[in-house]
Structures are given as structure tokens and as C-alpha cells.
Structure 1
Amino acid sequence: MLQFFSFLLILFLPISLAADPIEFRISSVEVAINEPLIIEAISKTGSIPKPVRIQFELGSVIAIYSGIQTETKIINFKATSSTILKFTILQSQPGIYTIPPIQVEENGQIYQIPEQKFTVTKKQYQPPSNLLNRFFSGNESQLADDAISETSYVKFHTSKSQIYLGEPVIGYFVFYNKKIRKPFFERNPNESISFPYFTSTLLSGVKINYPEQVDINLNGQIERYFTNPYNREIFALTPIKVGRFHIGKTKFDFTNSQRIHFYTHTIESSPKAIEVLPLPSPAPKSFSGEVGEYEMLIHFPKEAILEGNPWKFNIEIQGLGFCNQFKDPLLLSLPKNFPGKLQSLSVNKNQKFTEIAEQEYGFRCTANFEYSLFLKSNSSSFPFEISFFNPKNGNFQIIKKEFPALTLKRNPNLSKESKQEIIDYSKERSISNLHYSIFIFSFLTTLCFGYFFWKKFKTGRFQKQNEYLLRIQNIAGQKTGILLEKILLDRGFSQEEAKFWVALRKKYVGEKFTNIFSILEPREKELLSKYIEGDLK
């Protein structure tokens, strides 16, 4: 009985053949005549694998490369991504066969599937629907017209249809079909997505829950459609201009099955109309462009402030939104006669996509400002504030806080020599204590790179550099994150180079790549020059 149970497990569960770092998996060890056998080569390293050849043969068995896809799984709130290469075998004669030696290349290494046998029974494969029967009988045009053109479409959805300038929304695609419950579909990698006057960020590890079937009114007639959200690409979109726009126009390729990729059809998505409203005027002086709902907290240590010792504390802003536009609230309000040196140690901002209310999704964010204070004498209290626009009530909100009066305690361990070395910061703003160093560094940097630009221009490289940066900008547009990396890989750039541009887009927000060279750090310029040299060869 135990042996019989083990046989059932082998028969009906997909078989995983481990290879490091490529894992090979077959859909079954037993198929009927002409039933597709699917072999998957799975990589979880983040690199993009590729087949060594399109077709592999072993005797009468032929494995044909049939496509690539990415997959994201969320287990215990941890997201993992993998890239899957798919191969298909169709066998018309019963018997026991061996899978051809399928080979996959990743990072210059070749990985081959371990030897694996499969059985073709004497049963005839019965496709799951009449659509597949028509496909295998050669009526592709009828399949395309009946099953695709007339019964399928893709729509772009957003979490809101009317928003304020600077207010982030969630955008995603949904595939609708009257007859096919689970089609295989993906966005055409050669087509960009139209997001006019919106910045876009591709979210990872996010899934949209959508009803499996919906009723849609088309031309006065209600039809029931199957739905499939496109969870591979979900976007955070932020408007940068007031007006009415249509966003989310692109093209999708799909087939009538998740397992067969011989025939695809292209559909153009229906964009979403969205209205962007202006913010009221005038705005508070402390307003820096943030939209959402926030609160501000001050965290002071319990320790006393000792003469000559740094006293560290932090201010935290948290709430619903992005927190990206908040500027340092304390340094901007510091009195000129403040008796000490206040220095910003770090600024950390992060966002998390989450369910903020029942069936309502958005972002929770935090902005943490950490400070170090050297106090010379007792200080008086002073006010400071932040302001933001609240889209729920349509008004600006100001949060005011009072920085408390501080008392300096004598430090018995501080020597007279150390006291003499304490600098008088009473007339200094902490933001200006490095001006001289920054000026010297900027002057030397300008001289060095002025010479570099002159030399590039003299040798003709300056023009080549501009051409390279223009090509990158035309490909990238306003894309960020995973979306930017993906399109650069699709256009033939190396993974190292694609990650380089993703990092620059994240660091220099709002800057076009055509204007970015002059503001790069020396190490970044060195890497960019290397990529330009490689592009010229």
C-alpha cells in the first residue's frame, strides 16, 4: 500500500530536479499522446537566464523553447522572485522516453537538466476546451477572431479617479475574457507604458485581490467576464501636473493557455481617465509639497546633557503617504542665537504598501530625522512646524511643536584644555559648518572635470557621451526600479549596467539622464565612462 501511495505521488505531483543555481522542474512523468510536457528552468538568483539553443533533441524527442516569465511569491510576508524558462515536448507515440539534454546559461555558466525519463501512455490527449481543438486543427484565424478579438480586453485601473497634485495612487492592469478562465498573458516588452505627467514606481511583492468574475455592461448588454489582474506590474503613480489625463496605454500578448505558447495575440490596453486637481493657494511657508495625513513625534533620551558631550535625539514623521517631500523641520527653524551646535546625523524615509482600511489600500510611511547636539549653555524653547495637504478634507494642515528649553550640566571629567577646544557655535547654523570644505572640494572638482570635459570634446568623446546618455534617457523615460531594469535588459544592456542606472534614478530623483553627468560623484563618473567606452567598441 505504501508503494502504491508513493507511485501516486510521483504520478500526479510536478517533479523538481535541483541544480545549483538553476532548478529544473517537469510538469509530469506520465502524459497522453500529444499532451504537452512542460519543462521549467527556474532561477532565483536575480540574474536573467537564457537557453543555450531554441531546440534540443534526443532520438525522436524534441524539446522546444516556448517562453520566459517572472514569478513572485509572498510567504509569511516575505516576497521572493524567480525567472522561469519554459520548454515544451509533444510526443505522438506511446513508450518510455528520456528528456533531451536541455541546457541553460546564466552568468556565463552552463547548467543541464539531470537525466529524467517520462512515459507516454496509449491514451489520446483531450484538450480542455473547444478553443484548443480548433487551435490544433489549424483554425488559428477563427480562434483569434472568436476567442480573442471579440471576448477579451485589458483595462488599466487606478485606486482613485480624481486626485490632487502630488497625491500618490495605485495603478494596475486587469485582463478580461468571456470564455477563458486562466489565460497566459504578459505585457509586450517592446512597448512602453504611457503615464503622461506622472512619475511611476514599480512595486514589488504586491498583489491585487480582484473578483474572479464581474458583470460588464457593453453597448447596453450585460456580459459576465473572467478577470485576471496583472500582478507582475503594479505601480505607485504621482501626478506632477494639473489636468485630465489618460494613463496606462500599452500592449499585451496572450495565449489561450498558461502552458502552450505557440500562438499569441496582441491586445492594446484601455487607458484610465484621471483628473488631477490643483492645490489651494496660498500654501503655508513650511509646505514642501507633501500630500497625505501625518503626525510628528519627538523622541528625547533620558540622559542629561553634559558639557562637551553629544546629546542625540530624533524627530519622526509618520502617516499615510510617501513622506518623500518633507524637509528637515528643526534646522530650518533653529534660532540664530541658539547656544550650541545642532548637527543632522541621518535622514531615513521609507514607505510600505498596505491595507489602510477595509478594502482600501495605500502607503504608510515614516521619515526619521536624527540629530546630535553640542550645547554650550542653557537654551530657551523655540517653535517649529511641518505642513502638508490633506486630500480627505481638501485643506492644508500645520503641525506645530515646541522645542523645549534645555539645561546644560557640568561635566566633571572634562579638562580645561578640552573646554578651550570647544568651538563657539552660538552664531553658526549647523547647516553652514562645512561651507568652506564644500567650497574647496567643489572648486577642485570643477577644475578636474572641466579639464575632463575639454579633453573629451577635443577627442570627439564628448559628443559620443551625449549620444549614449540621450539613448538611455529615451529608453528609460520616467521609469524607475524593477521596470527600468527590465526594459534596459530587454534592450541588450548588461545586468550590472541596468542596476547602475536604477541606482542613479533612485538617488537623483527628477533628474534627466541627459543632464546627470555633471552632478555625479567621482566613482559614478568612473563607472559611467566605463560603460560609454564599452558602448563605443
Structure 2
Amino acid sequence: MKNFGRSVFFLFLFSFGVLSAQNVQFYLEPSQIEAGEVAILHVKYQGDADLQPVQKRYESKHVQVYFLGHSSETQIINFKVSKSKLLKYQVSSDKVGKHQVPKIIVLIGNETIESPDLFFEVLPTRPKVRSQRPQSLIDQLLQGMEPDFGPNEKPEVGFQLNKYNCYLGEPVIGYYVLYYSNMNRPYLERDPNRSISYPFFLSETLQGVTVQIEPEVLKDGLLRRTLVYGKEIYSLTPLKPGRFQLGETKFVVGDGLQFGAVHDSLPVKPAMIEVKPLPKPSPIGYQGAIGDYTISHSFPNRKAYDKEPYYFTILVKGEGTGAGIEPPLELKGFEDSIHFISKSKKKSFQRLPSGEYGFYSEVSFQYSWEPNGIGERQLPKAKIVFFLPKENRYEIRELKLPSIQVEPKPDRTLSKPKKDPSFSLSNYFLWSIGLIVFSAVMFGSWLKLQAEQKQKVVWKEMEEILGQKKGIFLSDYLKGKGLPETEIQFLLQLQSSSPSKSWFERMKELGRKDQNKIQSIFKILNERSMI
């Protein structure tokens, strides 16, 4: 009897506007540890900028985080090489229960990035069960240097899928799982000497996604614990029907807490998947889209002008990757000129309205219409064709666009202003008074602007003095300048409250009292920096 457990996918909704731009990922493994064990927080970055820690120690209630060091990683997937920079932190807690990791801040180039919400659970220590096989003298001398596995207890790495039957073009999710019994803290890392190849599949590494399965499963008649390899979660799209083996590679496995433990390179048990061809015949207009989509429109208004461009948008969104969704407007037989301008697509991996986890896409098509003639005009209809894998059928969805009222082109030539006969020489006195007041206001504004420019010069000098110093580096610098501890803490708190802003931007948000205080501090620093 085999039971690999029911997989549940979780999407961490970090600030993707920042993270996507920097291509940085935070992940914690394992998510469950026993009392006295530690978890490892990885910060992974793909890019040319330097990746550096801001602080080397973090603490919150019952949770301690210590910086371990730097490393690098090279991946070869479908013969494509990518290199990443890594930071590693040790995470521990002295209390049983669920805990949240303190916010970790790293520096990428000149930009600070904050970790998302990460959680882990500390379980009570379980009594260690050891096999009762007889030990030789060598076993006794080397006890603790290699795992004590009983019959059928050797660890195993398998490649798992969220589904093992799919249609051509339907994406599936793949991930690696370690099954083990007698390990205190299992170590799992892909063998750098072996690449991964997914023949006849388009592979994509999902960022910000983790997989959680049942912590213990019954496998081959034995109760085994599980550990998901969270660094590489794949979206795999089949390009050819048939039966395929996926995930064949090797993983380095060992017990990370045993002194001198031996790490073995174990082959992965691949997953078998059957890819079914799409039903034939396919309807006219089908371009390979798979999923469940809706179609809608966006019009700025219902009025256009003769021989002037009128812009509108057709929006297609729903479950699926958005592949195969092409411009939906049917232009055949339409008299006026309609031009397709652009296509944009957004795709994310998230919880779907059906309750499952998968891809959700939004595809927008921008059009320009130049009407020829006035009156009410009916635009052509829009149509999309896609395949519904859950119902094993094709679906055609049409959208009737609204009618637009076309009006004559307005006269936009500039007309000359008429001279007001009521205007006389007596009004010049009022104009003179107004001119004097206006000049006084402008002169006052100029003086204020000059004062602000001088102040900006002072702040620019301070930006050059402080540079990109943050956290402990800024604290050490200020202590070296002889600044009192209270003023150092004031600057550190001000910096941590808005790490992405400049000192000038932070000062503008303060009250008058705090502004005067920080100006006096910077005046002292400016004088001491010139010594």
C-alpha cells in the first residue's frame, strides 16, 4: 500500500513589485523542527549586484536568528545554466509551538529588501528509535558517523506531481520529496554534478511558492517522515503526448546533526506521467489555449468622433497560463479601419476560485478604431476558444461589443479673443496695484526657494558623508565621531522606519522639534568630518 499524502500548495504574497525586480527569494527549511534543532533560512538572489546582510543577529520573543555566511549555487535545467548568490541564517527557538521569524533585512546593491512573513513550528522531542541489529567492533568505534538504518529504512528521494494524467499543453506542478525514518535533522541538496532534464516539457521554476505535504506518510508498508525540497518547485508544460519519466537526477542526503555524518548521493525515483492528446477535431479559431477564461471589454465612453482614433480594450482572464489566447476581435466584413495595437499578459501562481492552486492569467488587447461616417455604429464581436480539461471539451465564448455614437469632428481651431470695449484707462491703476502685489509674492517665494536650496546642499553633503551606511555599520560610524548614544539611537530608528528614503525625505516628515534636533546633529557631524 502506497500513500504519498495529499499535497497542498501555498502562495507567499510578498511584495512582488520589489522582489520581482530584484529576483530575490526567502525560504525556510525545514518548516517543522524538534526542540533543540535549528532551521535554516536561505536568501537566494539571481543578479549582478552584491548581496550582503545588514545585521548578523536578530531576536524576537522565543526566536533567535544568527547569520551563518555566504555561498553560491549553480543550476543546470534543460541545459540552461543559472547562477545564484545565497545568504544563510540559523533559526532556533526554545519554546514548543508555532513561531514567526523576525524580519530579515538584506542589502542588494544600494537597495534594502525585507523578508516576507515566514513561520516554523517547534515540536516536542520524540524518543529516538534505533534498530536492534548486532553491532561489530568497527560499528561501535564509528558509531554516530553514519546513520543506523534498519531493514527497508534507507532514505529515498522521489519526484512528485500534483497530477499524473494531463492533456497536451496543460501545466503540472513537480517537486522533490525525501522519505526517511531515522534522521535527527535530514540534509537534502541536489547533486551539483548532475543536471535536470525534462524531455518534451517546457519547465519553469516557480518563485515565492512552497509545497506542504503530510509530515508522515505510509510508504511501502512503513511510516516515513517527509521533507520537501523547497528550493526548486517546477511548472511543467507538456509539448508532446505520450508516457514520460520526469525528475531523474541525484540528491545528496545525510543527517546534518551527526558529527562526521556520511552524505550519500542518491538517485531520484522519477515520476511517470501520461500526456493525453487533445480531442479532435478542434473548433475553428482554436490556438492551443487550455484553462477556463472569461472575456470582457473596457470602453472610455460611448461617444466617438468622425475620422478620429477611438481606443478600447478587450480583456481575457481566468484559470490558465494565458498561452494560446490570441487577439479575439473578428474584423472580417467590418467596413471601418480597426487596428490591433498591443497585447499584454500578467500571470501568477495563486489560489484559484475553485479552491485549488494554479496559474491565473490576465491578457489585455488594445485596439484603435477610426470611424468613417456619423451615426450609431456597431463594433464587431469578440470570441475566444479554449479547452476545458476538467470537462474534456472545447469552449467558445463570445462577447457582443456595445454600439458607439459617432458625432461630427469638432472644430478645434483657436478663435481670437474679442476686445472688451468696457476696458478703459481707469483700470490701469488696479492693474498696477495687482502687479506690485504679485511681484512681492514672487520675490518672497524666490527668497524661500534660495533658503531651501542652501538647505538641500547641506543635506547632500550629509548624504555623501553617511553614504550607504545602515544598521550596525551606521552605528559604528557615529560612535567613531563621538556622537552620544541617545542621538545614535534616534538616527537608527529614523533610518529603520523608512529604509528606502533619503535623509532629506525622512527629515521632511518630522515635526519642527525633531527637524531642529537632526539639523544640529548633522551640523556636528559635518564639522567633525572636515577635521
Instruction: Give the TM-score taking structure 2 as reference length.
Output: 0.51
User: SS in structure 1 opposite 2:352?
Assistant: strand
**Separation in structure 2 between the aligned mates of residue 174 and residue 356 of structure 1, nearest angstrom:** 25
Contact 1:244 1:275 in 2 (8 A): yes
Q: Is the 8 A contact 2:149 2:182 kept in 1?
A: no
* CA radius of gyration, larger in: 2
Q: Are residue 353 (structure 1) and residue 349 (structure 2) matched?
A: yes
The equivalent residue for 1:335 is 332
* AA partner of residue 242 (structure 1): P
Aligned to 1:296: 295
Aligned counterparts of 1:406 and 1:38: Cα–Cα separation in 2: 62
Show the counterpart of 1:226.
225
Shift of 1:350: 1.8
Q: Pick the aligned partner of 1:397 from 395, 398, 410.
A: 395
Change (3 A) 1:146 1:41: closer
Deviation at 1:411, TM superposition (A): 2.3
Q: Is structure 2 residue 253 aligned with structure 1 residue 254?
A: yes
Select 1:377's aligned residue among 349, 362, 373.
373
Q: Is 2:343 the partner of 1:344?
A: no
Root-mean-square deviation over aligned CA pairs: 4.0
Does the Cα contact within 8 Å between 2:200 and 2:240 map onto a contact in 1? Answer: yes
Counterpart in the other structure of 2:446: none
1:414 shift after superposition? 4.8
Structure 2 spans left out of the alignment, 5+ residues: 1-35, 53-67, 74-83, 91-107, 110-126, 131-137, 415-531
In structure 1, which of residues 138, 143, 166 is the aligned counterpart of residue 169 of structure 2?
166
1:68–1:138 Cα change, 3 Å:
farther
TM-superposed deviation, 1:186: 1.2
Instruction: Give the distance between the partners of 2:194 and 2:157, measured in 1 at CA.
Output: 15
Question: Matches of 1:243 and 1:41 in 2, distance apart?
Answer: 38
Distance 1:251 1:42 in 2: 23
Amino acid of the structure 2 residue aligned with 1:391? P
Give per-residue Cα distances to partners, 1:48-96, cap 9 Å, x unaligned.
Answer: 9799xxxxxxxxxxxxx998477xxxxxxxxxx9712699xxxxxxxxx
Q: Which amino acid aligns with 2:399?
A: K
Query: Contact (CA 8 Å) 1:68, 1:86: kept in 2 or not?
Result: no
| Contact 2:248–2:269 (CA under 8 A) maintained in structure 1 | yes
| Structure 1 residue identity aligned to 2:335 | F
SS at match of 2:146: helix
- Greater share of helix: 1
- Given that 2:315 and 2:362 are in contact with CA atoms closer than 8 Å, whether structure 1 keeps it comes out as yes
1:201 partnered with 2:204: yes
2:301 match: secondary structure: coil
Compared CA separation, residues 39 and 308, structure 1 to 2 (3 A):
closer
Provide the aligned length of Structure 1 versus Structure 2. 311
C-alpha spacing 1:47/1:337, structure 2 compared with 1 (3 Å) = closer
Between 157-166 and 145-154, report the one with greater CA deviation.
145-154
Cα distance change on mapping 1:377 and 1:180 into 2, 3 Å: farther
The separation in 2 between residues aligned to 1:201 and 1:47, in whole angstroms, is 21
- Check the 8 A contact 1:48/1:83 in 2, yes or no: no
Gaps of 5+ in 1: 1-34, 52-64, 71-80, 88-105, 108-127, 417-537
Q: Is the Cα contact below 8 Å between 2:245 and 2:273 reproduced in 1?
A: yes
Secondary structure, in 3 states, of the residue corresponding to 1:326? coil
Partner of 1:190: 193
- In structure 2, the residue matched to 1:502 is none
Which residue does the alignment assign to 1:449?
none
Whether the 8 Å contact between 1:387 and 1:396 is mirrored in structure 2 is yes
What is the distance in 2 between the residues matched to 1:166 and 1:390? 12
| Residue of structure 1 in register with 2:408 after alignment | 410
The answer to whether the 8 Å contact 1:156/1:269 transfers is yes
Letter in 2 for 1:398: I
Aligned residues of 1:66 and 1:262 also touching (Cα < 8 A): no
Note if contact 1:40-1:86 (Cα within 8 Å) is conserved in structure 2. Answer: yes
Alpha-carbon shift at residue 202 of structure 1 (Å): 0.4
Does the 8 Å CA contact 2:153/2:181 hold for their aligned counterparts? no
Matches within 5 A, 1:267-306: 267-302=266-301, 304-306=303-305
Look up the equivalent residue of 1:151 and give its one-letter code: K
**Structure 1 residues 321 and 259: CA distance shift in structure 2, 3 A:** farther
Q: Secondary structure at the match of 1:146?
A: coil
1:300-315 maps to which residues of 2 (within 5 A)? 300-302=299-301, 304-315=303-314
Q: Distance in 2 between matches of 1:147 and 1:67?
A: 37
Shift of the 69–175 alpha-carbon distance from structure 1 to 2, 3 Å rule, reads: farther
Shift of 1:276: 0.8
Shift of residue 395, structure 1, vs aligned partner: 0.5
Q: Is the 8 A contact 1:66 1:260 kept in 2?
A: no
TM-superposed deviation, 1:408: 1.6
Q: Does 1:211 align with 2:205?
A: no
**Residue equivalent to 1:239:** 238
Matched, 1:154 2:181: no
In structure 1, distance between residues paired with 2:211 and 2:380: 46
Scaled by the length of structure 1, what TM-score is found? 0.51
Secondary structure of 1:403's aligned partner:
coil
Structure 2 Cα separation of the partners of residues 170 and 201 of structure 1: 10
Question: Whole-Å Cα distance in 1 between the matches of residues 323 and 397 of structure 2?
Answer: 17
Distance (whole Å) between structure 2 residues aligned to residue 45 and residue 158 of structure 1: 26
Find the aligned partners of 1:181 and 1:212 in 2 and give their Cα distance: 14
| Bigger relative contact order (CA 8 A; separation at least 6) | 2
Structure 2 counterpart SS, 1:396: strand
* 1:353 to 1:260, Cα distance in 2 relative to 1, 3 A: farther
Deviation at 1:397, TM superposition (A): 0.4
Cα distance in 2 for residues equivalent to 1:201 and 1:365: 16
Cα distance in 2 for partners of 1:355, 1:261 equals 43
Per-residue deviation, residues 389-428 of structure 1 (Å, max 9, x unmatched) = 1001100000122234433211222569xxxxxxxxxxxx
Paired amino acid for 1:411: K
Tell me, in whole angstroms, the C-alpha distance in 1 between the residues paired with 2:304 and 2:349: 39
